[in-house]
Chain A
Amino acid sequence: MSWEKEGKEGSLLKWYDIMEAEKYEYTVGPAGERFFQGLKENKIVGSKCKKCGKVYLPPRIYCEDCFTKIEEYVELKLDDAYLDSFTTIYQNDDGQKLTEPVHIGLLRFKGVNGGLFCYLEGTPKKGGRIRVSNFNYPLRISIE
């Protein structure tokens, strides 16, 4: 296929440039600040809609269904945590083989909307208790 052929640099008229802003500085928002402050205290914080009772992770300042403002923040219990899915990555974005495969898990909590992508340490398996070994974002978790 054509993309496998080697191109002849310089044989065609070309113009090289880059296209990006140098960098971005994002704000995490009021709910995001509660979430990241919580992680510093080894807590996972969600937010709860007082109208429908839905709990959001990561926390939000509004309920996507009721559209009302959320002001209540709740600490989620690791007893309710479970691994919804996981995957194992063998190559990096450039297609090179990683020296160690990386496991990524989707961490969720019973009765909570949303979840968090985490690095998964040890051997992934179904069921089992979730342990968080590192609360710095992105979280590192393992299954006991």
Chain B
Amino acid sequence: MKVNIHLNKRVAVIGAGMTQFRRRILETPQEIAWEASSKALEEAGLELKDIECVVIGSAPDAFDGVNLKGEYLSHGSGGIRKPSSRVFVGGATGVMAAITGWYHVASGMCNTVLVVAEEKMSPARPHPQSVFRYIWDPILEKPLNPNLIWIFAMEMHRYMATYGIKKEEIALVSVKNKRNAANNPYAQLGGNITVDDVLNSEVLVWPVQLLDISPVSDGGAAMVMASEDVARRYSDTPIWVDGVGWTLDNTEWPARDLAYPRYLEFAARMAYKMAGIENPYKELDVIEPYDPFDYKELHHIEGLRIAKRGEAPKLLKEGVFDIDGDIPSSPSGGLLGVGNPIAAAGLMKVISIYWQLKGTAGKMQVKKPVHTGLAQAWGDLMQASTVIIMRN
């Protein structure tokens, strides 16, 4: 049963566009944003002059190496002489940009929004990982020189230990997502690999190995969102945003439960309540959980309450999350297969669900008919989560 939430307008997605995700794209960040934006407008059948507001999502300035990245990207995002804003919640930004676009329309403020996400991870030297060096507490954590790989290795280890999960079971996520990505024309790392390939890949930070982890990517993604009256005028197949949720959990790493993503459970409950979903396992048809690491997809499936704690690997092994399964998960190929230009990767997940529900996902289209889909992202100091639920 849907709860009584007072919104001025019902919101639909009517167009989307993406650039290819690649390691080192020649185009500048502004040009990447423009390519994605112009494709989204084209699919929506709108021109830039029809857009009332622009929302830009981009993660740390230090990736592209330009301070005030929102302002910098607005040129290629169609944001000049319009109310433009930038949202930033780390890795959760991509879905947050879509949520922000949603409330621009749902509030009645405007009828059409262009949501753009861009990230260029390749300029920083020696490696973009160095950008993350300064997100930690400067006194207590920074002296140990944490990086995202060893901090997640710690989380992965706790997750495995708590529920007795083996690396072979987790590696299946990487196998599935890279296989799905082979059908995605925008993907960077699609292909057929085996569990053994993952287990024999280079150990980066135990238990994280090379094929457990998403690549460094550049890329852009954009989406047009509109109020119901506009959506019905321009589209025969508007995809409705029925639920959104976002939450921040404790920002102290040492103080969080590493085995279970509580930050996501709260965000998911908010979105489920809005969408009137009581049993996510039965009611969701297709999902795009955030998967920068393979174990993270399982972690997030549990946080989304689709599987019980520690049981996502079992469902994965049974094929529930395969492209022809009960709840196909990351049919796009996810971050592991498509690539991980942070904010753009999050919005790519939303776009994947939009294309699935619209039935235009091409070779990525899941086998069963789908009516309700969910996309999710995760970030900040790894305690922020954003969830969006859409229906056709």
Contacts and interface: CB of A to CB of B under 8 A. Distances in A.
A29 B33 CA distance: 13
A41 interface: no
B134 A19 contact: yes
Q: Pick the 10 closest A-B CB pairs, nearest first.
A: A29-B28, A24-B65, A21-B124, A67-B48, A62-B34, A24-B123, A23-B125, A19-B134, A21-B130, A15-B139
B74 to A, nearest CB: 10
Interface string A39-80: 000000000000000000000111011111100000000000
Interface stretch (B75-83, B236-244, B267-275): B75-83
A31 B28 CA distance: 9
Contacts of A69: 38
A33 B28 CA distance: 11
B26 A64 contact: no
B138 interface: yes
A32 interface: yes
A115 to B, nearest CB: 15
A91 to B, nearest CB: 23
Contacts of B78: 64, 67
A21 B131 contact: yes
Contacts of A30: 26-27, 31
Contacts of A62: 31, 34, 38, 76
B130 A28 contact: no
Contacts of A21: 62, 65, 124-125, 128, 130-131
Interface string B19-62: 00000111110010010011001000001100000000000001
Given A61-B31, A66-B48, A67-B38, A15 B26 contact: no
A29 B125 contact: no
A17 interface: yes
Contact of B123 (A26, A31, A60): A26
A20 B67 CA distance: 12
Interface in B322-339: none
Q: Is the interface of A mostly helix, strand, loop or mixed?
A: loop
Contact of B26 (A17, A19, A27, A67): A27
Contacts of A61: 27, 31, 34
Interface residues of B, number: 30
Nearest to A21: B124
Interface string B99-133: 00000000000000000000000111110101100
25 contacts: A15-B139, A17-B142, A21-B62, A22-B126, A22-B130, A23-B125, A24-B65, A26-B28, A26-B65, A27-B26, A28-B28, A29-B26, A30-B26, A30-B27, A30-B31, A32-B28, A33-B26, A61-B34, A62-B31, A64-B75, A64-B80, A67-B34, A67-B38, A67-B41, A67-B47
Given A15-B139, A62-B38, A22 B27 contact: no
Contacts of B139: 15
Nearest to B37: A67
Contacts of B27: 27, 29-30, 61
A17 B137 CA distance: 12
B138 A15 contact: yes
A96 to B, nearest CB: 25
Contacts of A15: 138-139
Contacts of A22: 125-126, 130
Contacts of B31: 29-31, 60-62
B130 A65 contact: no
A25 interface: yes
A82 B248 CA distance: 53
Interface string A94-120: 000000000000000000000000000
A83 B126 CA distance: 40
Given A60-B31, A62-B31, A62-B34, 7 more contacts: A21-B130, A27-B123, A28-B28, A31-B31, A62-B38, A64-B75, A65-B48
